[in-house]
Structure 1
Amino acid sequence: MKDNMITVQFLVILFLFINLLLIITFFQKECFYTATRYILFAVTLLSDSLVLFLSDVLAILNQFNILIHVWLCIIFCVVVIMYTTLTPVTLTAMTLERYVAVCMPLRHGELCSTRNTINCILIIHALSSVPSIFIFSSFFGSASLKLYTQYQLCSMQIFIIYLWQQHLRSAIYQLQFLIMCIIIVFCYVKIMKVAKAASGEDKQSSRKGLRTVALHGFQLLLCLIQLWCPFIESALFHIDFVVFHYVRYFNYIVFYLVPKCLSPLIYGLRDEIFFHALKSYLSFGLYKGNLN
């Protein structure tokens, strides 16, 4: 178990370091923080970094059986749930941006202005807060006041008092992700049609947009599977505690950390302009590649 925890700490520190480099690179050039796709990319980096840090703190507390106040655990979990949901919602918004760029290029500048992007970020946060509002509203209506002053291991299980609350949580997530999947499939089909009809540079741009949307779809699938993990772990907890620990470790690596490392890959390393800017920053300005 200690080896597993050391591996997790290494991966979390590595991903946080990579995200930090990409966030610093984002602020190096004006073209990044005035373009919708890069702004949304930065939002995913910040939210993923926050979730990684807070979830790692909770994992360490649980590993060493450190109890904390329930009210403090509520604050931790509200933030973690909200920003865990924020990543797939932002991915959907980034997919729509690619759809507009490829299928409606003449209106891209108008629809994806900086002002509209800020409004989009506010809408993303509002949509991402819906699951936590429903989950904790049901908890506040069911829990006794003395529970808030108790010390417990911090996990989502302490907020599920009745079985219907677990069903409600599952239904909200499934509905939200169904809507996002429909949007991504719609954008993929539309971009694919444009890619077939395009020629030359337009065809290359359309294919790149198609690959980006496909990667977003794969990332969203991992995020969806991640939502099923607590239900699997909850069942195993009552069957075999050792198997429960190994399955939870596997789920954390594959369905929690991997989706978060895909964001830097999709919009960090695959994006030519951003990649050249990153190389320039890491070489202290000595690299003079294509930064336009």
Structure 2
Amino acid sequence: MVATAVVTGAAHGIGAALTARLAAEGLRVVAADVDGDALTDVAGTTGATPVTADVGTVAGVEALVAAAHDALGEVDVWFGNAGIDRIGGLDSSEDDWRAVHDVNVMAHVRTARLLVPRWLERGSGRYVVTASAAGLLTMLGSPTYSVTKHGAVALAEWLSVTYRHRGIVSQAICPQGVRTRMLENASGLAGLLSRDSARTPEEVADLAVEALADDRFLVLPHPEVAGYYEARAHDSDRWLGGMNRLQRKLEDAGVLAGPGTGASV
């Protein structure tokens, strides 16, 4: 039975919606974010325990895991929901690559290092990654996001194949467009991300909580993504050609900059 949960990136968007839904289901929740002021508001309306932490750092992850154990005793499910993006191309800076990789990939690695040994001792635990359809497909205009979300899905897969027989469940939530600040900041790419209609954070949270009951690995708020993923695997060259045509179309429309510049316009 799942009785306790931690949600990272909990001050806004999907994280805030997850915190509210889990609390409504009767779970004791630790909500974490770097935005302490907004986090206080979420905690005030949900009853969650707020912990201001930067999961993009080793120290931040260690402090959050310790605080979660202090508050909850045991962590039944960890929602690694925090994520960032830096729109750009091959000219994205080393700092941008490092920042996105630390939050979108290494936060999960560092957290799992601390949680998994404890879960193995008791024979149960659940790690849920908020990845993206970009982690199954790709994201035009943002190699940092595409590469790191693929990495997040890959880690979730590895956790599943390595530990599922020992009671640890790993799941990956992979939406397309969700009505969050990230979508609002996507500028001309917002239409592309919402081509199959943007979901609300609350809709994604509902699906995530429902998935706790059936242990499915992929949680797809946009069911169409399953078809795209299958088409990509069935004929990679055809799929890549179609994506390249879309890239050129967006370049011609001025939504994406051309090769060699990397920045969106």
Q: TM-score range by the shorter chain?
A: under 0.3
- Greater percentage in helix: 1
- Greater percentage in strand: 2
TM-score, length basis structure 2:
0.27
TM-score, length basis structure 1:
0.26
Larger radius of gyration: 1
